[in-house]
Amino acid sequence: MLLYGAIEAPFAQPRAVFFGHTISAITGVAITKLFEHLPPPAFIDRLWLAGSLSCALASTAMAMTKTIHPPAGGTALIAATQLNIRDLGWYYVPVVMLSSVLMIAVGLITNNVQRQYPIYWWTSIPLTPKEAKQDVVEKPGGTSLQLSDSETTMKVGEKGEEAIVVGVDGVHIPSFLGLSYDQRAVLNELQVKIKEYYSDPESQT
């Protein structure tokens, strides 16, 4: 659902999908192996404990490595609770890794039809940041707003640092400033509101 239905979500990006499932598979198999040292009746009676510990520890590991992928909790859970998966043992890990690669590969094909996937591969910085385009928009009252290259690279302060420019046709972010996907989404929302204001000022009254 995330990989094909919510492709802009941080949880759906390739790094989270691959490492989230891989970490969860390793955690689930490791916990299961520990519980298998118990006598057979005791292990069967404690499947609920093995499953819950696998899911909880996998979630913790994903949070620590910043590779949270919610469906991966099920990857850890079934490693402890499903008999056919338990029989696989450590072979379950490469199977999950291969499955993750195949899911990402299919996503790269299907999600790039009229859309863009991934938003980023490794970090939360988008692959192709949008640059502001040159344009002139009339503002109610006779004044005009011009977006030019000189404005998108304007300097502020005595140190000559680049500024973030939010305009009608885009958002300019300095190259040295690494913003997360969520932070860029806020700037994009502001840009949309500015564009709506200049394109249809009567709707803002």
Quickly list DSSP for 108-171: HHHTTSSS---S-SSSSS-SSPPPPPPEEEEPTTS-EEEE-HHHHT-EETTTTEE--EE-SS-E
Quote the pLDDT of residue 25: 96
pLDDT of residue 123: 67
| pLDDT of 195 over the 90 cut | no
pLDDT at 116 (0 to 100): 84
CA 66 and chain centroid, separation: 10
Q: What is the pLDDT of residues 143-180, one digit of tens each?
A: 444 444 444 444 444 444 577 888 777 787 777 777 77
| 14: confidence class by pLDDT, cuts 50, 70, 90 | very high
What is d(CA 95, CA 110) in angstroms, rounded to the nearest whole number? 23
Q: pLDDT tens for residues 32-84? A: 999 888 777 766 778 888 899 999 999 999 999 989 999 999 999 999 889 89
Sign of CA dihedral 187, 191, 194, 196: negative
Q: What local confidence, expressed as pLDDT, does residue 92 receive?
A: 95
Burial of 57 (0-12, 13-18, 19+ CB in 10 A): middle
Query: Rounded to whole angstroms, what are the CA distances from 29 to 74, 87, 134, 168?
Result: 12, 10, 56, 52
Alpha-carbon dihedral sign for residues 32, 19, 73, 107: negative
Between residues 69 and 134, the one the model is more confident about: 69
Peptide bond between residue 40 and the one before it cis (omega within 30 degrees of 0): no
Domain coordinates in residue numbering, the chain: 2-110, 135-204
Q: What is the pLDDT of residue 203?
A: 55
Residues 85-106: what's their mean pLDDT? 94
The predicted pLDDT at position 39 comes to 75
Q: How confident is the model at residue 21 (pLDDT cuts 50, 70, 90)?
A: very high
85 contacts 92 by C-beta, under 8 angstroms: yes
Helices 72-81 and 14-35 meet at what angle, rounded to 10?
Answer: 20
Looking at residue 151, what is its pLDDT?
A: 43
Q: What percent of the chain has pLDDT over 90?
A: 31
Residue in 86, 76, 9 with CA at minimum distance from that of residue 44: 86
